[in-house]
Amino acid sequence: MFLLKKMSLCVIAVAIATAGVAQKKTIDQKVDSVLKLMTLDEKIGQMNQYNGDWDATGPITKDGDKQNQIKKGMLGSMLNVTGVAHTKTLQEIAMQSRLKIPLLFGQDVIHGYRTIFPLPLAEAASWDLPLIEKSARIAAVEASAAGVHWTFAPMVDIARDPRWGRVMEGAGEDTYLGSLIAAARVKGFQGKGLGNTDAVMACVKHFAAYGAAVGGRDYNSVDMSLRQLNEVYLPPYKAAVEAGAATVMNSFNDVNGIPATANHYLLRTLLKGQWNFKGFVVSDWGSVGEMINHGYAKDNYDAAMLAANAGCDMDMESRSYIQHLAKLVKEGKVKMSVIDDAVKRILHKKFEMGLFDDPYKFCNTTREQQQWNNVENITASREMAKHSIVLLKNDAVNGAPLLPLSKHSKTIALVGPLVKAIRENLGFWSYSWPDDTARIVTLWQGMQNKISNDSKLLYAKGCNINDQNKDGFEEAVNIAKQADVVVLSVGEAPDMTGEAKSRSNLHLPGVQEALIQAIAATGKPVILLISAGRPLVFNDAADHVSSIMYTWWLGTQAGNAIADVLFGDYNPSARLPVSFPRSEGQIPVYYNHYSTGRPAKNDSDVNYVSAYIDELNSPKYYFGYGLSYTQFQYGAITLSKTNLKGNETLQASVEVTNTGNADGEETVQLYIRDIIGSVVRPVKELKGFKKVWLQKGAHQTITFNITVNDLKFYNDALQYNWEPGAFQVMIGRNAGDVQTVNINWSR
Ligand code: GLC
């Protein structure tokens, strides 16, 4: 009897479970059930995205009443609408539409929302993946509290050309570092997963290879071998997709002659095919319609057909889809299956975000208020900023390194156009709030917060950022003469780097270089702080000052973070994620170049070798370069083996000792060179790095495990594999300062 009872109980349990499963529809089933109810126009409405009526991040089109179009189901998403009040208002209108399909609200939350963090390139200089992820996480918490569902980030475009203004928005020149940072940012934005009210959909952009624009000129063409595209530029997008990125944004540029917006190879063959991407693709602003300018589409009708058929699911702002897709379907130029696939991808994300269950899920004013002045977020932005500052030079003055400064320094002169700059500290892709003046910590304020009562701060602006006026020089020189040390804060204007901000001349703008010379001529020790969103060219300044810190644009806590480093409360640990050219003529200059048939034997070799007769070969500062207030000594590399076979693992170790007078963090870098390949291989490639914090006098052995996966590359047939032979393993402090050992790896 007992057995019978037990069996019947099991049967009942299975029945309930099955029934439960039957009742609990999968998201796919829910999507299908909505799709079945939709008219063609309503489907196309989901593929249409407009900018809001408040802010614009591109050329705007004034047209009819957007709210009425929402009510008619002609809009699936809006961008640049933030704040619970605005998003709720528009969501309420969407709920008046026939099928009550909720809107998605997208926003460029690139490096913070209410609390602004350092520029993405500056964060990349930290090489600190947990911190970078945390920065994105905080941005998501603040933005989602303000009604934002979706950020158009991370931008993961590899950039080897600092003339391109958007180099500020990514992670620099390296594929390995860029891929790790791409994944970290996606995880940060999406947190514990879509559906959580503090998670926003990530949007990996700009697919693809936008950073390889010819001449570093924004929106310009990109043309390269499929091998280089797959080897150098595509991996960060793939890493972001593998990290679960909900959406992808195609780029403006043409890739090998076909605009990315309608590039079948990129969107269908690679992204939705080989990479099995299940999210949706949104065009960049107007890029569907811009295919007319490209000379790839005859008109918007043609552009809509090309883009939809190639796999672009949502049209941002060009109106090509909403105006022409219905006709294209009726004329058989675009199959209904193409529309259905796009709409299902979009609806799937809306279900995952929980918006069908509760369209007002992100409209919580209490949460919005709680996140509006979150002290922990502000503290975190200061932490990120400290870790992003790169110490480029720190010469001795009177027998000791000039930095860190003593908090009891008698008189410090603060000179330059950025000392009291406020909003500039936020850099490009940031938001202005009415209380910015109170919230943003300027350099001037940061220094005042730090120095002791017996110190005196003097100030002179000296000059403006970008004009020819030298009237302020005399005052600046005079206060420099009264000081023990001069902190000179110079740089670009924040809108000199960013979208549509390519520069052919990378020098400090205006008369800032002359100001540096005038201050240096006083003979006083000078600490140069350079704020910019890209590598600048400042050779003369670099040769005439004692110390240089690259302070990028560090966000809301800029002044405090800079002061933390200047006075040694934080020992700078950042390393450059991008090579710094000696001149624009050197560009593109990057560390992982090929050897060529005539490699220069040294920096000044010009004897029938690949070199410039008027410039040194090396960059001004190498990829991975950065100094500390202490010194790290590297022991010899030890290897577990020098001849390896097949799937063995090689251990390469080095002992690192802090031989200086301050605790500090070193970023130990591993590079590998494949000496001979079926295609030529770079002279070195970053394949690992480890950050190690060492107390003064302490040492630690750092070990890298290397397998054949670290040796793989795309051959001429686009096969991704490794080839047996001789390799070099290099470990060091930057791409220009490594120790090298030779190994052999056979099958
Ligand atoms: C811009 C940018 C893109 C941004 C979009 C929406 O033109 O290219 O990165 O996400 O439009 O603002």
The 3-state secondary structure of 437-488 reads HHHCCCHHHHHHHHCCCCCEEEEECCCCCCCCCCCCHHHHHHHHHCCCEEEE
Task: Tell which residue, 610, 601, 722, 626, has the closest CA to residue 672.
Answer: 722
Handedness of CA 531, 532, 535, 537 (dihedral sign): negative
For residues 170 and 67, the model is more confident at 170
Q: Whole-number mean pLDDT of the chain? A: 95
Ligand 1 atom 10: the closest Cα is on which residue?
152
For residues 286-311, one letter each, b for 16 or more C-beta atoms within 10 angstroms of the residue's C-beta and e for the rest, the string is bbbbbbbebebbeebbbbbbbbbbbb
The 3-state secondary structure of 301-370 reads HHHHHHHHHHCCCEEECCCHHHHHHHHHHHCCCCCHHHHHHHHHHHHHHHHHCCCCCCCCCCCCHHHHHH
Confidence of residue 25 (pLDDT cuts 50, 70, 90): confident
Q: 510 and 434 share a domain?
A: yes
Q: 413 and 542 share a domain?
A: yes
Q: How far is the CA of 352 from the centre of ligand 1 (A)?
A: 24
pLDDT at 17 over 90: no
Q: Over range 206-220, report the average pLDDT.
A: 98
Residue 497 placed within a domain: yes
Confidence of residue 63 (pLDDT cuts 50, 70, 90): low
Q: How far is the CA of 289 from the centre of ligand 1 (A)?
A: 15
Q: Give 96-108 pLDDT, tens digit per residue.
A: 999 999 999 999 9
- From 79, 285, 502, give the residue whose CB has the most ligand 1 atoms within 8 Å, as the site to mutate: 285
Quick one: pLDDT at residue 24?
Answer: 74
For residues 80-113, one letter each, b for 16 or more C-beta atoms within 10 angstroms of the residue's C-beta and e for the rest, the string is bbbbbebbbebbebbeebeeebbbbbbbbbbbbb
Question: Tokens 């940060």 label which residue?
Answer: 188
pLDDT at 61 over 70: no
- From 81, 108, 203, give the residue whose CB has the most ligand 1 atoms within 8 Å, as the site to mutate: 108
User: How many helical (H) and strand (E) elements, i.e. helices and strands, does the chain have?
Assistant: 23, 29
Q: Residue 528 in contact with residue 549, Cβ under 8 Å? A: yes
Radius of gyration of the chain (CA): 28
CATH number, domain with residue 662: 2.60.40.10
Domain that holds residue 675: 632-746
Quick one: pLDDT at residue 2?
Answer: 45
Split into its structural domains, the chain has a count of 2
Give the domain-ending residue among 538, 564, 590.
564
Taking the C-alpha atoms of residue 67 and residue 611, their distance in angstroms, rounded to an integer, is 60
- Atom number in ligand 1 closest to CA 206: 9
Ligand 1 proximal residues by C-beta, below 6 Å: 57-58, 79, 108, 152, 205, 284-285, 499
Q: 555 and 416 share a domain?
A: yes
Ligand 1 atom 3: the closest Cα is on which residue?
284
pLDDT at 16 over 70: no
Q: How far is the CA of 324 from the centre of ligand 1 (A)?
A: 23
Neighbouring-strand partners of residue 255 = 222, 258
Residue 179 placed within a domain: no
Residue 636 placed within a domain: yes
Q: Give 677-716 pLDDT, tens digit per residue.
A: 999 999 999 999 999 999 999 999 999 999 999 999 999 9
Q: How far is the CA of 304 from the centre of ligand 1 (A)?
A: 19
Length of the chain: 747
Q: 418 and 554 share a domain?
A: yes
Q: Residue 531 in contact with residue 428, Cβ under 8 Å? A: no
Q: 658 and 540 share a domain?
A: no
Q: 441 and 548 share a domain?
A: yes
Quick one: pLDDT at residue 432?
Answer: 83
Q: Over range 186-197, report the average pLDDT.
A: 98
pLDDT at 22 over 60: no
Quick one: pLDDT at residue 19?
Answer: 47
Q: Give 389-440 pLDDT, tens digit per residue.
A: 999 999 999 999 999 999 888 999 999 999 999 999 999 999 888 999 899 9
Q: Over range 318-324, report the average pLDDT.
A: 97
Quick one: pLDDT at residue 81?
Answer: 94
Q: Residue 448 in contact with residue 563, Cβ under 8 Å? A: no
Percent of the chain with pLDDT over 70: 96
- From 57, 155, 261, give the residue whose CB has the most ligand 1 atoms within 8 Å, as the site to mutate: 57
The one-letter amino acid at 729 = V
Taking the C-alpha atoms of residue 272 and residue 268, their distance in angstroms, rounded to an integer, is 5
Confidence of residue 505 (pLDDT cuts 50, 70, 90): very high
pLDDT at 60 over 70: no
Quick one: pLDDT at residue 407?
Answer: 85
DSSP 3-state assignment of 694? strand
Residue 419 placed within a domain: yes
Q: How far is the CA of 688 from the centre of ligand 1 (A)?
A: 32
Q: How far is the CA of 244 from the centre of ligand 1 (A)?
A: 21
Q: Which runs of E-coded beta strand occur in 232-272?
A: 247-250, 254-255, 258-259
pLDDT at 58 over 80: no
Taking the C-alpha atoms of residue 380 and residue 137, their distance in angstroms, rounded to an integer, is 11
For residues 321 and 24, the model is more confident at 321
pLDDT at 459 over 60: yes
pLDDT at 4 over 50: no
Residue 544 placed within a domain: yes
Residue 657 placed within a domain: yes
Extract the tokens encoding 212: 């390889």
Q: 492 and 641 share a domain?
A: no
Q: How far is the CA of 633 from the centre of ligand 1 (A)?
A: 45
Catalytic residues: 284
End-to-end CA gap in the chain = 65
Q: 424 and 552 share a domain?
A: yes
Ligand 1 atom 11: the closest Cα is on which residue?
285
Q: Over range 132-156, report the average pLDDT.
A: 98
Taking the C-alpha atoms of residue 634 and residue 707, their distance in angstroms, rounded to an integer, is 23
Q: 437 and 536 share a domain?
A: yes
Give the domain-ending residue among 539, 564, 589.
564
Q: Give 245-276 pLDDT, tens digit per residue.
A: 999 999 999 999 999 999 999 999 999 999 99
Task: Tell which residue, 463, 679, 427, has the closest CA to residue 553.
Answer: 427
Quick one: pLDDT at residue 69?
Answer: 92
pLDDT at 10 over 60: no
Q: Over range 449-469, report the average pLDDT.
A: 96
- Atom number in ligand 1 closest to CA 152: 10
pLDDT at 465 over 60: yes
Q: 531 and 440 share a domain?
A: yes
pLDDT at 12 over 90: no
Q: Is 505 exposed, middle or buried (0-12, 13-18, 19+ CB in 10 A)?
A: exposed
Percent of the chain with pLDDT over 90: 92
Confidence of residue 64 (pLDDT cuts 50, 70, 90): low
Residue 52 placed within a domain: no
Q: 433 and 556 share a domain?
A: yes
Quick one: pLDDT at residue 3?
Answer: 47
- Atom number in ligand 1 closest to CA 108: 10
pLDDT at 647 over 80: yes
Neighbouring-strand partners of residue 105 = 78
Taking the C-alpha atoms of residue 728 and residue 561, their distance in angstroms, rounded to an integer, is 39
Quick one: pLDDT at residue 494?
Answer: 86
Taking the C-alpha atoms of residue 408 and residue 411, their distance in angstroms, rounded to an integer, is 9
Residue 208 placed within a domain: no
- From 282, 317, 499, give the residue whose CB has the most ligand 1 atoms within 8 Å, as the site to mutate: 499
Q: Residue 75 in contact with residue 43, Cβ under 8 Å? A: no
Q: 528 and 644 share a domain?
A: no
CATH number, domain with residue 425: 3.40.50.1700
DSSP 3-state assignment of 424? helix
pTM over 0.75: yes
Quick one: pLDDT at residue 124?
Answer: 99
Q: Over range 193-212, report the average pLDDT.
A: 98
Give the domain-ending residue among 530, 545, 564.
564
